[in-house]
Amino acid sequence: MDFENDENLDYQLNKIASIVIKEKRLNKGYSLEDVVNRLNNIITRQSLYRYENNEARMKNNIFKKICLALNENPSEVWEEINSRFLNNINDTDTKNNNSFDELDVLYKNSKGIMSEETKSTIEFLMKKTIDNYEKSKNNKE
C-alpha cells in the first residue's frame, strides 16, 4: 500500500506520528519485540515496524496501547504529534530545501543505536521521501 502523498494532511500527520512513536521507543531502549511483548502480542513485530515507518495506519486504540506500552501518556504523545504537525505546516512555506531537517536530525541523533539494516532502511526512506518531495515540487512549477 502506498501512502506517500506530501499534499495529503492525513499522510503528513501519520508520518509525524510514526516518527514520534519510533523516537519514544528508541529513547526507552526498547526493541520492536520488547514493545510487542509489552502489548501481549496484540500486534505483530511487522505491524509495529510498518506503523513506525508510515507504511500502515494505526487505529486509535492501537495508538493508545502502544503509548501505554512505552510508558507514555497517550494524550501527551498526541499533543506532541499535533505540535510537530502544526509546526511542519507553518514551516512548509518558509523552508526551501530544508523540509526534511527534523527527520535528518532524528536520524543523526539515533543512528548510533541502530543496526546497519535499520540505518540502510532509514536512509532509503529518507532518499525516497526527498525524491518524492522534489517530484511534487517540480510538478507545481
pLDDT means per 10 residues, the chain with 141 residues, are: 56 90 95 96 96 92 95 93 80 50 63 73 76 73 59
Cell 507504511 found at: 55
What pTM was computed for the model? 0.60
The amino acid sitting at 49 is Y
Q: pLDDT per residue over 75-115, tens digit each? A: 999 999 888 888 876 655 444 445 456 666 666 666 666 77
Q: Is 30 exposed, middle or buried (0-12, 13-18, 19+ CB in 10 A)?
A: middle
Q: Where in the chain are the domains?
A: 9-140
**Residue 74 near residue 5 (C-beta atoms within 8 A):** no
Q: Does domain 9-140 have CATH number 3.40.718.10?
A: no
Distance CA 14, CA 141 (A): 27
